[in-house]
């Protein structure tokens, strides 16, 4: 069986430009980091971790955003443009063929907003909202934040919260724990 059709899951987390009081005139939120953790669903192991820095076109990294993510304007100026980042996800991480998952719907919606003007959507149609699946698995009336979910199942927060690659890694740990508890995340 081709590895792209079912065995591997791409867990994705994005960071985007943000401001304490909304964007300055003429700016809008856009992705500045794409974090991906590949999970082998045969044994629910995290097998690859990637962070892709993305150079924004319509906004700048605010002090608030730097405080939250640890990313500076200089960091993202060294990144790739959004189209190249999407191509990496699509081609190197087989994004169009693998089911992908994120914590909530924000990441999916942000990609949908930005994939315009010739930038192809890097994913197929199979998306899993891990936050929703987690809430269902534990009988929670509403979803909790990722760090709270980690604590709920006794897992440590690894790395820096609000960094794409670290958050994707941590979300993938939750996915693996759900599978261990008999609640596997599948398309």
Instruction: List the domains of the chain with CATH numbers.
Output: 8-180 (3.30.420.10)
Q: What is the pLDDT of residue 3?
A: 52
Output the CA angle 58-67-115, nearest 5 degrees.
Answer: 30
Predicted confidence (pLDDT) per residue in 104-156, tens digit: 999 999 999 999 989 999 999 999 999 999 999 999 988 899 999 999 999 99
Helix segments in the chain, DSSP class H: 63-69, 73-77, 82-87, 106-114, 130-137, 146-152, 164-180
Predicted confidence (pLDDT) per residue in 10-33, tens digit: 999 999 999 999 999 999 999 999
pLDDT band at residue 1 under the 50/70/90 scheme: very low
| Mean pLDDT (the chain, rounded) | 95
Burial grade of 124 (CB within 10 A; 0-12, 13-18, 19 or more)? middle
pLDDT band at residue 187 under the 50/70/90 scheme: low
Strand order in 99-102's β-sheet?
Answer: 45-53, 31-40, 8-16, 99-102, 127-129
Residues 6+ apart with CB under 8 A from 183: 133, 137
Q: How far is 130 from 10, CA to CA, in rounded Å?
A: 12
Q: How far is 184 from 170, CA to CA, in rounded Å?
A: 16
Mean pLDDT computed over 172-179: 97
Q: Is the pLDDT confidence value at 159 over 80?
A: yes
pTM for the model stands at 0.95
């Amino acid at each position: 069986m081709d590895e792209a059709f079912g065995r591997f899951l791409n867990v994705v987390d994005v960071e985007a430009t943000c401001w304490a009081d909304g964007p300055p005139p003429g700016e809008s939120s856009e992705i500045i980091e794409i974090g991906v953790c590949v999970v082998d669903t045969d044994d629910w192991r995290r097998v690859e971790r990637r962070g892709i820095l993305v150079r924004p076109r319509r906004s700048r990294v605010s002090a608030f955003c730097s405080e939250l993510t640890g990313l500076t304007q200089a960091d993202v100026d060294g990144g790739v443009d959004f189209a190249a980042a999407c191509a990496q996800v699509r081609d190197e991480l087989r994004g169009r063929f693998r089911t992908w998952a994120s914590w909530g719907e924000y990441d999916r919606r942000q990609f949908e907003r930005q994939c315009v003007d010739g930038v192809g959507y890097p994913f197929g149609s199979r998306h899993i909202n891990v936050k929703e699946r987690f809430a269902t698995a534990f009988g929670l009336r509403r979803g909790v934040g990722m760090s709270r979910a980690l604590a709920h199942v006794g897992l440590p927060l690894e790395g820096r919260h609000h960094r794409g690659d670290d958050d994707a890694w941590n979300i993938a740990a939750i996915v693996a724990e759900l599978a261990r508890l008999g609640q596997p995340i599948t398309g």
